[in-house]
Amino acid sequence: MNRLFVCLFAVLFLARVSAAEEACASCIDGCACEEICSCNHEPRAPIGVMGDHVHHKGAWMVSYRYMFMNMDGTDSDVSGYMMRPKSMDMQMHMFGAMYTPINNLTIGLMLPYKVNNMDMEMGAMNMPMEMESEGFGDLKLSGTYRVWSSSVHQLLANLALSLPTGSMDEENGVARLPYSMQLGSGSYGLIPGITYTGLANGWGWGVQANGTFYLNENDHDYTLGNRYGLQAWGLRDLCSSSAVSLRLSGNRVENIDGADPQLNPMMTPLADPNLRAGTRLDLLAGIDYRIGPARLALEGGAPIAQELDGPQLETKWMVIGGLQVSF
Ligand SMILES: [Cu+2]
């Protein structure tokens, strides 16, 4: 008798599971069943990852991210230069909006507001000097298209266009600030990418590769170097409303092509377009919390390896906080 009950229960349970799986499979397209199935369309990647999800048709999402990065000390000797970088703090307030006009395609807009502070030393007397720049950076228009998906996996194609809305005329009253203190690229850029994500049994994971290619020389006779990114992450649900994550993020930046004639590379390595390249691998831990349509998330980490074609400032640590609201 007991056995019969166990068997009956197992059959019912399996029937429920397969029904939920079927619901999930159909949910990918129309998303009539978000509540029933676990294949929800909530963001599943750590907050520092962009373009990791597509919403259901007609949905909006607005987001705000705050990013802080600290750089301190140089990777090689700077004593031969007149102006020597000591440390730098980079802050970014990133405002975003996403809309899904048709199934499987989410379009978005992202505008950063940047605040850069750098401490320098000048001359033989090590005179301290500060540089500051602040303002809007380059506006990005993005599209994320779901190429393929099942109840567990999805494959997304990403493409963004970067517009030269940020200033590259930042100065301190005496001279133009070096490349890394400027707010925009001055060029149009294309950012293609590919993203894979998985979600099952309270685990989430994903991989993303992308590149940033600046298409034209800006008004100051230079083009920022290409950027390449490759990252992988894993998430674990703590409960239905909270998850923790680990992310490995690799980034490569190439040197600047051309040179701003107002910047003198003999004065400081920051003004040398051929000392800008570098490769970095960051490890970040994150936590997020979801309440209804909102998601609050925090991620922080540090490089575990970096190789700079410097003298350049070394990245020490970074944090990213964000709030996303879907409706
Ligand atoms: Cu979204």
In the reported structure, the alpha carbon of residue 289 is separated from the centroid of ligand 1 by a whole-number distance in angstroms of 15
Strands in the chain per DSSP E: 60-74, 83-102, 105-122, 127-136, 139-149, 153-163, 189-200, 203-214, 222-223, 227-239, 242-253, 257-258, 278-291, 294-308, 313-326
Q: Note the pLDDT tens digit of each residue in 272-303.
A: 999 999 999 999 999 999 888 899 999 999 99
- DSSP secondary structure letters along 16-28: HHHHHHHHHHHHT
Q: How far apart are CA 209 and CA 195, in angstroms?
A: 7
201 pLDDT band (50/70/90 cuts)?
A: confident
| Burial class of residue 119 in the structure, from the number of CB atoms within 10 Å of its CB (0-12 exposed, 13-18 middle, 19+ buried) | middle
pTM flag (> 0.75): yes
In the reported structure, the alpha carbon of residue 57 is separated from the centroid of ligand 1 by a whole-number distance in angstroms of 12
In the reported structure, the alpha carbon of residue 63 is separated from the centroid of ligand 1 by a whole-number distance in angstroms of 8
In the reported structure, the alpha carbon of residue 218 is separated from the centroid of ligand 1 by a whole-number distance in angstroms of 32
In the reported structure, the alpha carbon of residue 305 is separated from the centroid of ligand 1 by a whole-number distance in angstroms of 31
Q: To the nearest whole number, what is the mean pLDDT of the chain?
A: 89
Domains for the chain: give ranges and CATH numbers.
41-326 (2.40.160.40)
Q: Note the pLDDT tens digit of each residue in 221-260.
A: 999 999 999 999 999 988 778 999 999 999 999 999 999 9
In the reported structure, the alpha carbon of residue 28 is separated from the centroid of ligand 1 by a whole-number distance in angstroms of 15
In the reported structure, the alpha carbon of residue 52 is separated from the centroid of ligand 1 by a whole-number distance in angstroms of 8
Q: 229 near 195, Cβ under 8 Å? A: no
Q: Note the pLDDT tens digit of each residue in 58-111.
A: 999 999 999 999 999 998 899 899 999 999 999 999 999 999 999 999 999 999
In the reported structure, the alpha carbon of residue 117 is separated from the centroid of ligand 1 by a whole-number distance in angstroms of 31
Place of tokens 């919403």: 55
